[in-house]
Structure 1
Amino acid sequence: MFQQYKSLLFSIAYHMLGSVMDAEDCVQEAFLQFYASEEKETIEQPKAYLCTLVTRRCIDQLRSAQMQRETYVGLWLPEPLIEATDPSELSELNESLSLAFLLLLERLSPIERAVFLLRQVFDYDYAEIADIVGKSAENCRQILHRARRHLPARPTHTSAPYAGQRQVFTQFFQAWMNGNMEGLVQVLSDEIVVNTDGGGKVRATLHPVHGLDRVARHLLWLQPKVFHGIKVAIRPTLINGQPGLIGYLEEGLDEKQLHSLGLEGKESSKMLPVWHQRASQKGKATFVMILACTDNQIQEIDIIVNPEKLQHIPALDTDDNGTIA
């Protein structure tokens, strides 16, 4: 039972919550409640029962999380989902996992988000949705209509094929690593935006950076700060359905390195370059960068450096098939 339904339930919970760890907890709690109920009475439709448990738990959790989001420092981004999906199996579900899509869902109330996802992403009919959220089918239709009004029109850009995304990603990474302004400009869209989530845990840009020139200069300013003492693994796996890279701390910064950065002394930890802070263990993920590529250009770059959102990412494995830079 667990193996049969856990993937579906996790997908629902992650789309609802935007958190890998919270989604996993939600699914486990739902199964525990299911098994406890099964001991008292046979459940005729376990899939529907489990989906109902997960969805309602997510709705409750989102309601309690709304106040926390209001006091969140800087821009809130979902936790990155590191996928082992074969690129040949890319589907519409991968698009719904993009951080841009999940951010749009933040505009919806918890019940609107549940109805919208169950209908638009998971293709449940209104009768099924009604049973899951405890509303009438007609009410669910109205909720979906209201949710669509709250969301902007989807972009008209065409998502680049996976091979094209990888090519753009490689060009971007090489240009960024080499501090090549011209190379960056070639792969960035005029409408490029960079979102960074530090959650107040590390130094990070608090607001989105817009525009080709500003973004290119911002990336070049970050480059020497990011890669000092950092190994970057370019993995064949996807991050939220899109190419990305994971930065790992190569080694702890010693006194000599601190001196070279002008950061000696007891207060130095407060001034460490943006993404080194609070990533003291060798091989630990210190940032994730995700590129949204459309029309063979990068439209959006999402950078997650909040260490609390990186805890679920496996430590660096130099024996994997990724490229270590």
Structure 2
Amino acid sequence: MKRSSAQQETMFQQYKSLLFSIAYHMLGSVMDAEDCVQEAFLQWYASEQEEPVEHPKAYLCTLVTRRCIDRLRSAQTQRETYFGLWLPEPLIETTDPSELSELNESLSLAFLLLLERLSPIERAVFLLRQVFDYDYAEIAAIVGKSAENCRQILHRARRHLPARPTHTPAPHAGQRQVFTQFFQAWMNGDMEGLLQVLSDEIVLHTDGGGKVRATLHPLYGPDRVAHHLLWLKPKVFHVIKVAIRPTLINGQPGLIGYLEKGLDEKQLLSLGLDGEENSKKPGAWHQRAPQKGKAAFVMVLACTDNQIQEIDIIVNPEKLRHIPALAASDNGTIVC
């Protein structure tokens, strides 16, 4: 029997969260994931005008996954020529953290960055099996391969990924404590305080995409990372407002920096994040500079064993467009 538009909408809303999660894990982009989900819904809606789809959930998952595979194939060349370090778009928490607990590890920027080592089809099979717990018959139908072929693809994907770390992810309470210690030490310019919370294996990534000056390579080691953070603070926070309200970003503690006021040309040119005089297009951001109250950067902390193992800073304005502006009534914000 043909479904009404209202029934289709209800059914789509039922699966929308799952579809977005698959698309975001595949693409590492909030906006592209939303586009894929919407395109899948429109195709399903059009198909139902002719004949009802027997299994809408499987049909929609197939549409989304195949669209993501196509997008990844076209995006690979762009990412190979991406200026500097490429990081996924940050996913700002909008639900109860307990609802994301099972996906927190797979949502982490570190995990999504590792998946860049896989081909589009390897990434799809790996995620559907390892993260979303689909059986091989279901995966085979979604990606258009045989079940045995999917087993081989998964085996190959695992070989391309490094062994999972042995560190124990800190519980939410521990993450909040580490975040608080880190933020206080950073804002106070406390080198010793920073070194206490940074792991010996700490790595810092910054993604400017050639639009904002940023470190072009990872920084390793607590001394180097701490010195960089302390160098960065006075250079940036004279124009940035930092929200420290309880916010998970990709399932991990983090903060969002907002412009406190509009910037003039001199300030824009001085807002370098790498300390290098010869960075590519140091003033290019003025063409895309966020307005007052808009997100200017995101920082995410990966906490394990009650220490910070990784810090990811995203300043590419194109990856921050989906983040809502800071509300004037937001009293969970401090100005730095």
**Which residue is 1:188 aligned to?**
198
Matching residue within 296, 305, 319 for 2:329: 319
Residues 248-293 of structure 1, C-alpha deviation per residue, up to 9 Å, x if partnerless?
Answer: 0000135xxx7xxxx4xxxx64443439854341001000000000
* 1:107 Cα deviation after fit: 0.4
Matches within 5 A, 1:1-325: 1-253=11-263, 263=266, 269-274=268-273, 278-320=288-330, 322-325=332-335
Counterpart residue identity of residue 149, structure 1 = R
CA contact (8 A) 1:279 1:285 kept: no
Counterpart AA for 2:145? K
* Contact 1:96 1:121 survives alignment (8 Å): yes
Q: Report the TM-score when normalising by structure 2.
A: 0.90
Higher mean displacement: 225-234 or 87-96: 87-96
**Letter aligned with residue 153 of structure 1:** A
Residues 163 and 318 of structure 1: CA distance in aligned 2, closer, same or farther (over 3 Å): farther
Instruction: Quote the Cα distance in structure 1 between the aligned partners of 2:272 and 2:112.
Output: 29
Mapped to 1, the partners of 2:131 and 2:80 lie a distance apart of: 27
Aligned positions, number: 314
Query: How many percent of aligned residue pairs carry the same amino acid?
Result: 86
Q: Deviations over 1:174-206 (max 9, x none)?
A: 111111101100110011000000000011101
Residues of 2 paired with 1:40 and 1:147: CA distance?
A: 39
Q: For residues 168 and 79 of structure 1, what CA distance do their matches in structure 2 show?
A: 23
Deviation per CA, 1:296-324, whole angstroms, max 9, x where unpaired?
Answer: 00000000000000000000124236332
Q: Structure 1: how far apart are the matches of 2:270 and 2:176?
A: 34
SS of equivalent residue, structure 1 residue 243: strand
- Identify if the C-alpha distance between structure 1 residues 243 and 250 changes in structure 2 by more than 3 Å, giving closer, same or farther: same
Q: Is the 2:212–2:272 Cα contact (8 Å) retained in structure 1?
A: no
Unpaired segments of 5 or more residues in structure 1? Answer: none
- Give secondary structure in 1 for the equivalent of 2:132: coil
- Does the 8 A contact of 1:85 with 1:238 survive in 2? no
Conserved 8 A contact 2:181-2:197: yes
What SS class does the counterpart of residue 235 from structure 1 fall into?
coil
For 1:280 and 1:30, how far apart are their aligned partners in 2? 31
Structure 2: stretches of 5+ with no match in the other structure: 1-10, 275-284
**Cα distance between partner residues in 2 of 1:228 and 1:209:** 24
Q: Deviations over 1:73-119 (max 9, x none)?
A: 00000000001232344422111000000011000000000000000
Letter in 2 for 1:284: K
| C-alpha distance in structure 1 between counterparts of 2:129 and 2:290, whole Å | 43
- C-alpha separation in 2, matches of 1:23 and 1:219: 32
Amino acid at match of 2:204: V
Give 2:250's aligned amino acid: N
Show the counterpart of 2:8.
none
- Return the alpha-carbon distance in structure 1 between the equivalents of residues 115 and 232 of structure 2: 29
TM-score (norm 1): 0.93
Distance (whole Å) between structure 2 residues aligned to residue 197 and residue 34 of structure 1: 36
Q: Secondary structure at the match of 1:40?
A: coil
Deviation at 1:136, TM superposition (A): 0.3
- Give the superposition deviation at 1:134: 0.2
Distance (Å, rounded) in 2 between the aligned partners of 1:5 and 1:87: 19
Cα contact 1:236–1:321 (8 A) shared by 2: no
The one-letter code sitting in structure 2 at the alignment partner of 1:135 is K
Query: Which of 130-139 and 276-285 deviates more?
Result: 276-285
Q: Report the equivalent of 2:278.
A: none
Aligned CA distance change for structure 1 residues 321 and 123 (closer, same or farther; 3 Å): farther
Contact 1:85 1:237 in 2 (8 A): no
